[in-house]
Amino acid sequence: MAAAIPGHRVIVFLQENKTTDFYFPTMSAWGAAVANGGALLTQPPDFDQPHDRNAWVHYRMGDYPALAAQVDNDVVIPFYSWLAKQFVFADHHFGPGTNSTPGHMLAIGGQMPTMKNPPFVGPHPVWDLPSIFTVAEAAGVSWAAFPDQSGYPTKYYTSLSTAPGNEKVHPPKDFVPMAKAGTLPQICYVWSPAGFDEHPPQVSDPGYVTKGHNLVWDRVQAVIDGGGWADTTFILTWDDWGGYADSVTTPSIETVADALHPDGFVAIGGSRLPLLMFGGKVGQAIDAQWRSHASIPKTIIDLLGLPPMGVARVDTAPSLAGHVDPTSSRPVPPVPGSTIVQPAPPDPTPAPQPTQPWPEPTDQPMPSLVTLDGSVVAAPTDGIVRPNPPKPPVHQP
């Protein structure tokens, strides 16, 4: 385990709905295990497609095709593309096998009390679960959460929706001024408001990816402007697969039961999701180790010297902290709005690194959840799975 770095900060950006093959095909030239089928799109698909538990299960079963599209990341998301080449690109990272809310909760606290999206507005469930924020609070380490304009997804946590924890939950507009002022705490999780989270739109919005990409770029620049680049590690990832195909099958680590699979069907891992880690002390690497979203809080625990969370999925997760070198000084990214010149890929093209099998038992039933109040929260079985796969959208990329 890497030694904790005094005075360090970790900022996690969580965006929406992308697989590794869909978003970063040109990383194949850098030795990443991603497909590049050519004919890359210079405009992202301008529509949403089914990506809930039902769609994902049928995709994994092989009777639902998902959308086999790929964007040209050098054109569509040039800032992200530059970061992936200059810092750490994790090509064997994954989330849960379903849609948004479980992915966000897995990244916050390593547990998922649900396999579906609770209501986004109006009454909703609240769970008394540990998270990276409760670990930080108990250790006296400063933290803040910046959910979307509705409080999503932190509103599902008792400790983040009631006093005193809710005093450290800020609207998304507060991040940039706090960053520029140099007043950000040591742990920040940052979401984007609707329209800026890169989620494919229900109603046409051709600029939805650019708006989300540029907001993250602006937020990184705000940290730089506030003098925080040298002492900050950033993690950028996406919540779920969004209905996009991917060429690499994840290990079946944990299962939950559904109508078609009473003995359980894979829930962790889900499809691969891109993860980038960058900052003033972060090296350059293609990270080929299997990791779930539970590795995000584990990495924070290791970098900041926090105690264990008490959630086995987090406390035993492989950490990314080894990519952070306290003696390093890495280049500052280009400023927002500038024309990014992508670095030339290695010549010859490196072969993808071999990936070791998941080191622990696989096909294990998902355990009951760890709670803060001692209540019993069983592993979720609420993800609806129907006998027939969903119909793909009629849109074409």
- What's at 259, amino acid-wise? A
Which pLDDT belongs to residue 247?
97
- pLDDT at res. 2: 65
Q: 384 in a domain, yes or no?
A: no
Tell the residue number behind the tokens 């003696």, with chain if given: 327
Asked if the structure places residue 383 within a domain, the reply is: no
Lookup result for tokens 């989620």: 199
The domain that holds 118 is classified in CATH as: 3.40.720.10
Closest CA to 264 of 353, 178, 362: 362
Q: One digit per residue, pLDDT tens: the chain, 397 residues? A: 567 999 999 999 999 999 999 999 999 999 999 999 999 999 999 999 999 999 999 999 999 999 999 999 999 999 999 999 999 999 999 999 999 999 999 999 999 999 999 988 889 999 999 999 999 999 999 999 999 999 999 999 999 999 999 999 999 999 999 999 999 999 999 999 999 999 999 899 999 999 999 999 999 999 999 999 999 999 999 999 999 999 999 999 999 999 999 999 999 999 999 999 999 999 999 999 999 999 999 999 999 999 999 999 999 999 999 999 999 999 999 999 999 999 999 999 999 999 999 999 999 999 999 999 999 999 999 999 999 999 987 765 4
Within-domain flag for 246: yes
Q: What is the DSSP letter of 272?
A: B
Strand-strand pairing, 254-256 and 364-365: parallel
Task: For residue 365, give the 3-state DSSP assignment.
Answer: strand
Helix (H, G, I), strand (E, B) or coil at 28: helix
Which sign does the torsion angle of CA 301, 99, 357, 129 carry?
positive
Q: What is the pLDDT of residue 397?
A: 47
- Which tokens go with 237? 């990832």
Using CA atoms of 304, 8, 336, 222 in order, give the dihedral in degrees to the nearest 10: 110
Residue 223 forms part of a structural domain: yes
Please report the pLDDT score of residue 309 as a whole number.
Answer: 98
Residue 348 lies in a domain: yes
Instruction: Please choose, from the candidates 44, 47, 48, the residue with its C-alpha nearest in 3D space to the C-alpha of residue 23.
Output: 44
Total count of domains within the chain = 1
Query: Considering the domain boundaries, does residue 393 fall inside one?
Result: no
Distance between CA 124 and CA 364 in Å, rounded? 29
Residue 157 domain-assigned (yes or no): yes
Backbone angles phi, psi at 155, to 5 degrees: -65, -10
Neighbour tally for 77: CB within 10 Å: 26
Residue 193 lies in a domain: yes
- For residue 3, the model assigns a pLDDT of 77
Structural domain containing residue 132: 9-365
